[in-house]
Structure 1
Amino acid sequence: MKFLGDMGISPRTIALLREQGYDAIHLIEENLEKMTDQNILDKARQEERILLTVDLDFAQLLAISGDSLPSVILS
């Protein structure tokens, strides 16, 4: 599984996922802190990553778009 951590997710969480063998990146590591929510969804979709976030806007954006990907986990 591949994960993308949004700004509300601790970089430590991403590090823990990596320690468990997952392919996980954080927006901060990619210097993408200013990326729009739609572009974050697009990045997750293009890279086939599960988006980890605390931002409820992502669920709404995904529902409005009618897309089934990417998967979004709200914590």
Structure 2
Amino acid sequence: MRFLADMGISPRTVNWLKAAGYDAIHLVEEGLERLADDEILVKAREEGQILLTVDLDFGYLLAVSGETLPSVILFRLGNERYEMINDRLMEALNHFEEDLAAGAIISVSDEAFRVRRLPI
């Protein structure tokens, strides 16, 4: 799995993914911190990446696009520190690998995961 982290995701999460053997990059690493949301989706789609974000706009953009990729993991946690995101991300990866490969938005809260297959 390949990951692209949006600006709301800590670079520490990207480093943690890399240490776990995943291909992961943060927008900052590529100097793309000002890239528009729709362009971020295009980048993730073209590069086969799963987008990690806390930004609700990506769900809307995917819904209106009718696209089946990229998959998005959207974190809606009370505590969005990187340690909490890392813990919930590992749970999501352990349970929803097939959904992510097929194209899905996974909303991650403190209590639950909600999976919506694309297109919406």
TM range (shorter): over 0.9
Task: Give the fraction of aligned pairs with identical amino acids, expressed as a percent.
Answer: 67
Instruction: Name the structure 2 match of 1:6.
Output: 6
Instruction: Name the structure 2 match of 1:27.
Output: 27
Note the aligned Cα RMSD (angstroms).
0.3
Report 1:28-67 matches (<5 A): 28-67=28-67
For 2:40 and 2:73, how far apart are their aligned partners in 1?
14
1:16 aligns with 2:16: yes
1:68 CA drift (Å): 1.0
For 2:5 and 2:33, how far apart are their aligned partners in 1?
11
How many residue pairs are counted as aligned between the two chains? 75
1:20 CA drift (Å): 0.2
Q: Which has the larger radius of gyration?
A: 2
For 1:67 and 1:60, how far apart are their aligned partners in 2?
12
Any stretches of 5+ residues in structure 2 without a counterpart? 76-120
Structure with greater helix share of residues? 2
TM-score (norm 2): 0.62
Instruction: Name the structure 1 match of 2:78.
Output: none
1:39 CA drift (Å): 0.3
Structure 1's consecutive aligned runs of 4 or more residues displaced over 3 angstroms after TM superposition are none
Any stretches of 5+ residues in structure 1 without a counterpart? none
